[in-house]
Chain A
């Protein structure tokens, strides 16, 4: 499988994403933000970092870069897109995912390992995650508090679009296990069509035991499986 990993000015998890995908046996390459095309890609990763210095709002400027128009077209055709951390913020700003990410409730930048409960296996991003297994992955963000109005939250629930929630080591939802104050402990969601997803935690930083956890690989394995199981939508 061939992954396109976007690079904006001040992306800083692009290399981690490339490394994780390659170490899991697939190919990945960088796509610069000024490109108008994704090239030959089976899936797109919008990586973490501080695109455009987080100026104005996180992700607000990246969203208007030329490559995001290509990502939008790819997503509209059913292509798989995963936004990680700042990538999640970019996708919400672009309107590809509902809601927004705001300042952590304690105003602190959180850099730590947390646990994720996978809410549903019914998505290209979660289908291979062992049932009931809390995933131990790192977070590193100051603005990861998920917000959406009540109507949007109800819709997310009705359509089973919440993919991951913050939990404790045993997999239980608890306010203390919610690092940033996200509504309903939401750590990651997908769109209604289920081909675009975003999450604040960093699975790409947890794909090998030398890094303290390899739980993040299940998210990538899910994407590989989804791409193998169907005729993939390719970027032109």
Chain B
């Protein structure tokens, strides 16, 4: 099993990195870009087959440690 966690800055937090990437894309000629948000991607390889237990544990870990709820949102997928 593998867990995939995507961490992104909350909309209310200024994201200068995303803004800089957006400006660069526009300067390169890419059009129709409304916004860019730069986040993090974590891939966690898991032993064992209990999907729901893994989801529960990683949801807790993502909330407590892998993301900071003050400034970030996360999305967890298990496959």
- Which of B9, B13, B15, B17 has its CB near the most chain A CB atoms (within 10 A)? B13
| Interface residues as binary, A94-118 with B (CB distance below 8 Å gives 1, 0 otherwise) | 0000011011111100000000000
Q: A60-B65, A64-B65 are in contact. Are A147 and B70 (CB under 8 A)?
A: yes
Number of residues on chain A facing chain B (CB within 8 A):
19
Neighbour of A103 across the interface among B16, B68, B70, CB < 8 A: B16
> Is A99's CB under 8 angstroms from B70's CB?
yes
Q: Which residues of A contact B9 (CB under 8 A)?
A: 102
Q: Which residues of B contact A57 (CB under 8 A)?
A: 68
Number of residues on chain B facing chain A (CB within 8 A):
13
| Interface residues as binary, A47-76 with B (CB distance below 8 Å gives 1, 0 otherwise) | 000000000110010001000000000000
Q: Which residues of B contact A147 (CB under 8 A)?
A: 13-14, 70-71
Q: Which residues of B contact A149 (CB under 8 A)?
A: 12, 70
Q: Which residues of B contact A145 (CB under 8 A)?
A: 14
List, sorted by A's number, 15 A–B pairs whose CB atoms are closer than 8 Å. Answer: A56-B65, A60-B65, A60-B68, A92-B70, A100-B70, A102-B14, A104-B16, A106-B16, A107-B16, A107-B17, A147-B71, A148-B70, A149-B12, A181-B14, A181-B16
On A, residues with C-beta under 8 Å from B are: 56-57, 60, 64, 92-93, 99-100, 102-107, 145, 147-149, 181
